[in-house]
Amino acid sequence: PAVSHTFILREVKRLRNANFEIRTVSINSPECSATGMTAEELEEAAGTFYVKKERVRGAAAAHLAILLKSPKAYFKGLWFALRLAGTDLRQLVFSVFYFAEAVILGRWMESRDIRHLHVHFANAAATVGLIASRTFPIEFSLTVHGPDEFYDAPGVRLAEKIAGASFACCIGQFARSQLMKLSPHSEWAKFEIGPLGVDPQLFAPRPFRSSPRTFEILCVGRLVPAKGQYVLVAAVNRLAKSIPNLRLRLVGDGPDREGLARAIEAAGLTQHVVLEGSVNQDHIRDHYRQADIFVLASFAEGIPVVLMEAMAMEIPCVSTFVAGIPELIRSEIDGILVPPSDDRELAGAIKRLIDDPLLRRRLGAAGRRRVMEKYNLDRNVTRLAQIFTDRIERPREQRCIDTSLSA
């Protein structure tokens, strides 16, 4: 597990409760150490198959077994992997590694009589899954979040993944629209909407503070350029002189941490901005409970789960008009949206909320209602379960009929 991917575990556990048999596989070992994982994550990690942990000996054994058993399928998969790279020598090297991992994965699935592979991101792991589906008699599907894969669709071979998948779950309409743009109409029936969600009982409303001694602004997310934390720091800089009792907490870690620390110090904001580092799910709700406002100044997003969590806890949210965010937040109804990159507009939206406790309360309550109606985890996992049932368990001919009817 990665710190920012807890929502996948929530889906898996609920699907198991609905009598789905699910085995978890990861290419890489956990992102965080055992001491940084929750008990729930440690339990799942213990039962997860890690492809790279097989190392050279395990890889050699898997490849030899498949080569001897099904040489035609082996070389078919290898040729497909090489063709994915095209004429790019760097990609050719990566394709060889992806094929090596795909054989380890496929052999592991074969030994357990697992016939369907679902990958939760359209990234390199999906490339491994696609190659495995061309090497072994298994079906492959994926969940598409966006937006990173949409920026370099040829580089991540997104069109090939769409063509090779039996279906694709899109977390929202924006994600589905991008897949439609990248594929012929004949592929569109593969695309299902499977929204993410949060548990509104776990993320319950926190006490509302009408006139807090310190206005606590919270931002949760990886410290990477796409999240726009520099813009948020600039917005706080605009407000700090006139609102001295202002504090921004940046929860998360990433490559921008050092640069943000320098920007905070250079602006004289060390008393107003705190870099909290990564926080696991056992402690993240403590930060939400202290927050008066939640802000996500992103340049690019799918539909952020952290916004859903904050909204479920009745924290008024400010974010940006990008990608899938407007599907979650209707501006001035469920929260406030501003143009990305505009620290002046962002500062103005934050100040509105600071100055108007009634607006904070109204938008907080509306945000929770929005999550309850559209992003309730149990309801959306029920929808996901139905997608898997319809797409995996029915005979192929029946699925084709149902797909055309639903379209």
pLDDT of residue 87: 84
CB–CB of 142/111 below 8 Å? no
**Cα angle for residues 405, 406, 407 (degrees, 5° grid):** 90
Residue 76 φ/ψ, nearest 5 degrees: -65, -45
Average pLDDT, the chain: 93
E strands of 150-222, at which residues?
A: 168-170, 191-193, 215-220
pLDDT of residue 2: 77
Rounded-to-integer distance, Cα 219 and Cα 322, Å: 17
Rounded-to-integer distance, Cα 115 and Cα 92, Å: 28
Compute CA distances 266 → 163, 230, 260, whole Å: 50, 12, 10
Rounded-to-integer distance, Cα 168 and Cα 159, Å: 12
Q: How confident is the model at residue 34 (pLDDT cuts 50, 70, 90)?
A: low
Q: How confident is the model at residue 245 (pLDDT cuts 50, 70, 90)?
A: very high
pLDDT of residue 20: 94
**CATH fit for domain 215-375, picks 3.40.50.2000, 3.30.420.40, 3.40.50.300, 2.40.50.140:** 3.40.50.2000
Rounded-to-integer distance, Cα 338 and Cα 345, Å: 6
**Picking from 41-45, 98-102, 322-326, which range would have the lowest pLDDT averaged per residue?**
41-45
What percentage of the chain has pLDDT greater than the value 90? Answer: 86
Rounded-to-integer distance, Cα 73 and Cα 85, Å: 19
User: Which tokens go with 136?
Assistant: 């072994």
Between the ranges 89-93, 115-119, 276-280, where is the mean pLDDT highest?
115-119
Rounded-to-integer distance, Cα 357 and Cα 279, Å: 28
Contacts of 328 (CB under 8 A, 6+ apart): 303, 304, 307, 308, 311, 334, 370, 374, 375
Residue pLDDT, tens place only, 51-75:
999 999 999 999 999 999 999 999 9
**Pick from 216, 211, 214, 213: which is nearest to 315 by CA?**
216
pLDDT of residue 35: 62
Q: How confident is the model at residue 394 (pLDDT cuts 50, 70, 90)?
A: low
> What does R_g of the chain's alpha carbons equal in angstroms?
23
pLDDT of residue 401 exceeding 50, the answer is no
**CATH fit for domain 3-197+378-406, picks 3.40.50, 3.30.70, 3.40.1130, 3.30.1360:** 3.40.50
pLDDT of residue 163: 96
Q: What is the number of helices (H) and of strands (E) in the chain? A: 18, 12
Stronger pLDDT, 281 or 238, i.e. the higher one: 238
Contacts of 147 (CB under 8 A, 6+ apart): 174, 178, 300, 301, 302, 323
What percentage of the chain has pLDDT greater than the value 70? Answer: 95
pLDDT of residue 405: 30
Residue pLDDT, tens place only, 152-189:
888 899 999 999 999 999 999 999 999 999 999 999 99
pLDDT of residue 402 exceeding 70, the answer is no
Domain ranges of the chain: 3-197+378-406, 215-375
What are the percentages of helix, strand and coil residues in the chain, rounded to 5?
Answer: 55, 15, 30
**Pick from 116, 118, 107, 134: which is nearest to 51 by CA?**
107
- DSSP assignment of 273-297: EEEEE---TTTHHHHHHH-SEEE--
Q: How confident is the model at residue 88 (pLDDT cuts 50, 70, 90)?
A: confident
Rounded-to-integer distance, Cα 303 and Cα 173, Å: 10
Domains 3-197+378-406 and 215-375 share a fold: yes
Q: What is the 3-state secondary structure (H, E, C) of 340-377?
A: CCCHHHHHHHHHHHHHCHHHHHHHHHHHHHHHHHHCEH
**Picking from 64-73, 274-283, 354-363, which range would have the lowest pLDDT averaged per residue?**
274-283
pLDDT of residue 233 exceeding 60, the answer is yes
Q: Is this structure's pTM higher than 0.85? A: yes
Residue pLDDT, tens place only, 119-147:
999 999 999 999 999 999 999 999 999 89
pLDDT of residue 83 exceeding 80, the answer is yes
Rounded-to-integer distance, Cα 132 and Cα 108, Å: 11
Rounded-to-integer distance, Cα 168 and Cα 179, Å: 9
pLDDT of residue 244 exceeding 70, the answer is yes
